[in-house]
Amino acid sequence: METVSRREVLIGSAAVLVAAGRVRPAYAQAAPPSAGTADTALVEDLVAANRILVDQGVVDAYGHVSVRHDKAADRYLMSRSIAPELVTAADIMEYDLDSVPVDPRGRALYLERFIHGEIYRVRPDVRAVVHNHSPSVIPFGATGVPLRPLYHMSAFLWPGVPVFEIRSAGGAATDMLVRTLALGQALAKTLGAGPVALMRGHGAVVVGGSLPEAVFRSVYTEVNARLQAQAMALGGSVTYLDTEEAKKAQASVAGTIGRPWELWKRKALATLPGK
Ligand code: MN
C-alpha cells in the first residue's frame, strides 16, 4: 500500500511538471523491451563501483556510474536515483540509449542519465561511464587552465581534457544539468574519442573500456587535478609527461588496474548491508 501511494504521488508531481513544460515525460514513452537479465557479477561490480567512488572522494551524495549491458550494446545499467553509497543490486535499472528505463515501476531516475545513453551511443569502445562533481577538477573546468598528466598514474590524460560549455549547447540560462537528449549529445561530442571531459561549473565525465578502468580513471583524474594545482601553486615551471612518456606509462599502468580494483572492491562490498 505504501509503495502504491508513493508512486501515485510521484506520477502526480511529474504530471504537474510536464504540464508546465518543464520536463520531458519519460514515462509517456512505451517502455523498451529488456535485453534480459544482466550478469550477476557485472551487477555486483556496478554496486562496488558506486561505493568505491564514494570511498575515493570522487562522488558524494551526487554523481552516478553506469555499465553497458553484457547482453546488448544498446542497453546500459545504472542505479535508480539514490546516493551512490546506498546502492545495492536491487537498485540497478536497465535503460535503452534514449535513457528510457525498461521497468521504471515509478522509481526516481537520475536527471542527468542522458550523459550515459548518449556516450554509449557514439562510443562503441566505452563500456562504463562515470559522471561526478569531483572537487579538484572543478577549478580546471572554470579557468581555462588545461588539465594535463602530471604523473604516471594519470598518463591516460595525454589526449587532452576538453571542457564542455553548457551555454554553447543549451543557451545562456540552463540550470547546468545535462537533463535532455540534446545536451547529452553535445557533451558526448565534446568528449570525442577521449577518456575525460570536464563540465564547466559542474564536474566531469569519465569513460573506460570496463568498470575498473572507468573507476580507476575517475580516481586518478581527481588526484591529478589536486597535484597539478599544488605544482602550479609552487610557482616554478611545471613539467608534464610528454606524449611519448604518457603513452608508455599508460600501457604499463593499464596492466595493473586489477590491483587497486581488487582492494577497492573488497573494502566497498564489506560495507554492503548483510555483509
Ligand atoms: Mn551532475
pLDDT digits (tens, 9 = 90+) for 60-100: 999 999 999 999 999 999 999 999 999 999 999 999 999 99
Q: Is the full-model pTM beyond 0.85?
A: yes
Ligand 1 centroid, distance to 161 Cα (angstroms) = 18
The pLDDT of residue 7: 40
Cell of 71: 547482453
What pLDDT score does 271 carry? 85
At residue 260, the pLDDT reads: 97
Q: Given this structure, which CATH class describes domain 35-269? A: alpha beta
**227 C-alpha to center of ligand 1: Å?**
23
Q: How far is the CA of 111 from the centre of ligand 1 (A)?
A: 9
Q: Which residues of the chain have pLDDT under 70?
A: 1-29, 275
Q: How far is the CA of 200 from the centre of ligand 1 (A)?
A: 11
- How far does residue 272's CA lie from ligand 1's centre (Å)? 25
Structural contact between residues 149 and 231, judged by C-beta atoms closer than 8 angstroms: no
Q: Which of 2, 44, 94, 112 is catalytic?
A: 112
Active site residue 112: yes
